[in-house]
Structure 1
């Protein structure tokens, strides 16, 4: 029964204790396996939120999510893990960036769902619907075939990991972050060796660095990005944590270093505005700030995955690809296959 573990994590600020990996795994199995009541699950989520999840607890929930999900070595590339609660104030640079990376020979896995608390922002699913793609009703085979043809895989998380969909109503009622807000971003549907992971608070850098190492990624970059996303800022420096071989180091990535610092325009973001901005820069007539942001994010990710020897080389490669129209061609093909 989940109440056994609820009593341990819900004893208050002083009495609560972290669960061991095995204890947390049992709790996660009860929750994701549908063996706990909504009241028990909600209480457990709130208690964990107050206590703050340990690395072992997060790892356990990730492994149980993975056990309940469809996962296959579809492509050896980069998993871009942004917030499932979406965005309200910033450009979705990771979306067009995915096609720059794919054009450079680095496959990309994107994933998400309908908007969730606490932010209730625009999600990748909203953008795809605006582009005429209903990924929730696309077959798994179609999504995989499209990824094999273009290098970009989109995963509707609640379809490929059904317990996430089954727990949505509880999360909506709670209206706050839960352990699933982190775990769902690390299901790693295509067994990617490289992880790009967005966080909101720099206080979780060390915890997420340890978690990414324990989950077996070859290299990971933890990014305190725009609205807690994996996207680097273009108007100011971004704090990141680089993780490899058990070592984590803080890196400040400053767009001014590369002559890219640009102030983005104020935009009332809708799904239509996001798609319009993304398609414009892929065509070569987008706003300079968004183009520079995609160039910087592409360069850093290519460097992380070993596709460029330096960020400078990554910028040169990314600009050449955009100028030649290869990312646009891939994006157009990707849309046609999924529509």
Structure 2
């Protein structure tokens, strides 16, 4: 590890990118905690200054996947990957959108942890805990049971990849973004061929597009969404990169084109508020801006997965599923399964 550190931490002019094989060695040392905390912290800081190469990112993703429990054969069509440092000012449209997609016949995956730096915002796990399940209860078994009933797979990432949990303390102490901020979003715990991936800066579009090609995704949509999330904006155009067939291109998603542009109300969010608004959307009782944002994201994701011939067709399909109550029914099935005591679930088998 010391030799690898010498390569990435020589300063702005002397540092070099690691080869893929070297980066694999570094990732293994860090995830198994063979590297000391000082070495791990130094590596994270050096990479933050230098910026990770595509080979280095791929190595950390593949090694992290190796140390994770990953579900296969579930038919999950889409992985929705937003930032694990959470949100502070925007609505979590991706949460109710997941049940809309499931109702449309597109099983999909969400994932997250307790909040991390640098943003320290509200996370998806915080919202799920507001349903009534403490973090310790978000076991892989509950995830799989709720998915079986609803078509929505929510994973508490540190339960599925324990090495990330063991590295939490050093990440919190550093208080900055590390290479793990990208790797944890790409664990692909549900083994999906497609991903919608949120980014904050458009400067990473090209690098991530090349990474997704190397990782073998059939399709990927890299979205410069709300607070760096995978959620398309509903009050302005959103820049995105579509990656497929070994190529990538810029796309602009403008809600005004579809007549659904709206201005979300300004508000201070709590996890309970996020859950309440998500439930209101699914029940047809939310502010138009939140509802339209869920419809827009649902339509684009259905189109990406080939479940709608166009975004317009996706919008019609999503509205019908909201109005007809199918999306809310999927949510209630997921919620009921999640809250079901483990012994009761075993007795039902």
Equivalent residue number for residue 67 of structure 1: 66
**Could you tell me how far 1:37 is from its partner in structure 2?**
0.4
**Structure 1 Cα separation of the partners of residues 153 and 291 of structure 2:** 22
1:93-172 mapped onto 2 (5 Å cutoff)? 93-172=93-172
1:14 aligns with 2:4: no
Deviations 1:280-312 (A, max 9, x none): 111101000000000000000000000001000
**Structure 1 Cα separation of the partners of residues 286 and 20 of structure 2:** 48
Equivalent residue number for residue 318 of structure 2: 318
Equivalent residue number for residue 285 of structure 2: 285
Deviations 1:64-95 (A, max 9, x none): 00000001213331000000000000000000
**Structure 1 Cα separation of the partners of residues 5 and 168 of structure 2:** 20
- Say if 1:75 and 1:148, in contact at 8 Å, map to a contact too: no
1:44-83 mapped onto 2 (5 Å cutoff)? 44-73=43-72, 74-83=74-83
What secondary structure is seen at the aligned counterpart in 2 of 1:197? strand
Equivalent residue number for residue 264 of structure 1: 264
Equivalent residue number for residue 4 of structure 2: 5
**Could you tell me how far 1:133 is from its partner in structure 2?**
2.3
- Say if 2:221 and 2:240, in contact at 8 Å, map to a contact too: yes
What secondary structure is seen at the aligned counterpart in 1 of 2:29? helix
What secondary structure is seen at the aligned counterpart in 2 of 1:76? coil
**Structure 1 Cα separation of the partners of residues 295 and 304 of structure 2:** 14
**Structure 1 Cα separation of the partners of residues 44 and 107 of structure 2:** 34
TM-score by length of 2: 0.96
Deviations 1:151-197 (A, max 9, x none): 00111111100110000000000000000000000000111011000
Q: Which deviates more from structure 2 when the two are superposed, residues 255-264 or residues 73-82? A: 73-82
1:172-321 mapped onto 2 (5 Å cutoff)? 172-321=172-321
TM-score by length of 1: 0.99
- Say if 1:209 and 1:248, in contact at 8 Å, map to a contact too: yes
**Could you tell me how far 1:135 is from its partner in structure 2?**
4.9
Give 5+ residue unaligned stretches, structure 1. none
**Structure 2 Cα separation of the partners of residues 36 and 59 of structure 1:** 20
**Could you tell me how far 1:138 is from its partner in structure 2?**
3.5
Give 5+ residue unaligned stretches, structure 2. 340-349
Count matched residues: 338
What secondary structure is seen at the aligned counterpart in 2 of 1:248? strand
**Structure 2 Cα separation of the partners of residues 260 and 14 of structure 1:** 49
What secondary structure is seen at the aligned counterpart in 2 of 1:176? coil
Equivalent residue number for residue 328 of structure 2: 328
